[in-house]
Amino acid sequence: MVEAVRYDPGLNWQVLESPHFLVYFSMAQNNEQLAQQVANIAEETYQQVNTQLGSPDKHHHLQKIAIIMEDFSDYALGFATSLPHRVIRLSLTAPTAKSFDMKFISWLKMVITHEYTHIAHFEMTSGPTTALRALFGQILTPNALQPMWSIEGLAVYNETNFTTGGRGVDSRYDMYLRMATLENQFNTLDQIKGYYLTTWPDGTAPYIYGQSLIHFIAQKYGEDKVVALSKIFCEYPYLGFNYAVRRAMGLNLKE
C-alpha cells in the first residue's frame, strides 16, 4: 500500500519487454525511446555480470526482472530488491558534478550495472542452498546476509569494472580514505558492515570502504577470489563471512 502511493495513479504506464526484463515507463514524458535504451543496456549488463559471477541464465525459469523508470525525482538514485519480486527502480535524473566526480559517460549504464549486480549477487546459490531455493523460492537469498561493505563494494566495483567511470575512479572516494588514514580515523570492519555509522562518512561507509576492499582483493588475489567469496558464502552462510574469506584466500578476515 505504501509503495503504491509512490506513483501518480494518473500516469499512463507502458511496458517494453526484452528477453530478461520488463521496462516500465510513463508516456507523460515520451520515454519510449529511452526505455528501449534502458532495455538494451540491461541486457548487456545481464550478460556481463552473470558471466562474472559464473551463473549465466542459471535462474532463467524465474519471471523477468522489472525495471521501473522514474522521472519525478530531482535526485540521482537507483534501488534494487529481490523480495518479494526482482525489481530495479531507476531515477532518470543524472548526478551533478557536485554529487559525483566519476567521469561517467552514461549514467544509465552505471546505475543499471550497480543495481543489477545486487540482483545477480542475491540470486546466487550453491550446494544445499540451491536445493532450499527450489523448495522455498525467492525468499532464500543467502548473499543478502553478507556484510554491507561486501554487498555494496561489489556493486560499486562493477560500476568501474563494466563502465568507463563509476565511483571506483571517483577522486573523492580516494581522498576520503587517504584522509581517514592520515587522521587515524579509519573505520573498522564492524563499523562498515551496515549503514548505521553516526559519524563521517555515515551511511556511505559501506560504499567507500567496500569498493576499496573489493578492488584490493581483485588486484592482489584475482577477481576469481571476489567471486569465490560469494560462492562459498552462499553455500555455507551459517558459517559466517570469515569462513568464506578463509576458504577463498586462506586469510583471517581481520588480516
Q: Could you tell me if 192 and 149 are in contact, meaning their C-beta atoms sit under 8 angstroms apart?
A: yes
Packing angle, helices 223-235 and 205-221, rounded to 10: 110
Which structural domain, as residue segments, surrounds residue 22?
4-249
Q: Does residue 219 sit within a domain?
A: yes
**Cell numbers that stand for 162 in this block:** 563494466
In a domain, 255, yes or no: no
Amino acid at residue number 143? N
Distances from the Cα of 134 to the Cα of 28, 34, 110, 127, 199, angstroms: 41, 36, 32, 12, 42
- Of 182, 200, 190, nearest to 254 by C-alpha is 190
pTM score, two decimals?
0.91
Q: How many domains does the chain have?
A: 1
Query: E-strand spans in 49-194?
Result: 65-70, 78-81, 87-91
Do the domain assignments include residue 254?
no
Identify whether 151 is part of a domain: yes
* Per-residue model confidence as pLDDT tens for the chain (255 residues): 445 556 777 778 899 999 999 999 987 767 889 999 999 999 999 999 999 998 655 555 568 999 999 877 767 789 999 988 899 999 888 776 656 555 667 889 999 999 999 999 999 998 899 888 888 888 889 999 999 999 999 999 999 999 887 787 788 888 999 999 999 999 999 999 999 888 888 889 999 999 999 999 999 999 999 999 999 999 999 999 999 999 999 988 766
Question: Could you report the per-residue pLDDT of 218-253, keeping only the tens digit for each?
Answer: 999 999 999 999 999 999 999 999 999 999 999 887
C-alpha cell at 195: 549503514
Nearest to 162 by CA among 79, 98, 218: 218
Distance CA 143, CA 123 (A): 8
Q: How many CB atoms lie within 10 A of CB 101?
A: 17
Which residues partner with 26 through β-bridges? Answer: 13
Query: Residue 233 is part of a domain; what is its CATH number?
Result: 1.10.390.10
pLDDT digits (tens, 9 = 90+) for 201-219: 888 999 999 999 999 999 9
Let me know: does 50 contact 120? Beta carbons within 8 Å: yes
Q: Is residue 127 part of a domain?
A: yes
Give the whole-angstrom CA distance, residue 142 versus residue 237: 6
For the chain, counts of helices (H) and of strands (E)? 8, 5
| Cell numbers that stand for 246 in this block | 578463509
Nearest partner of 108 among 21, 34, 18, judged by Cα: 34
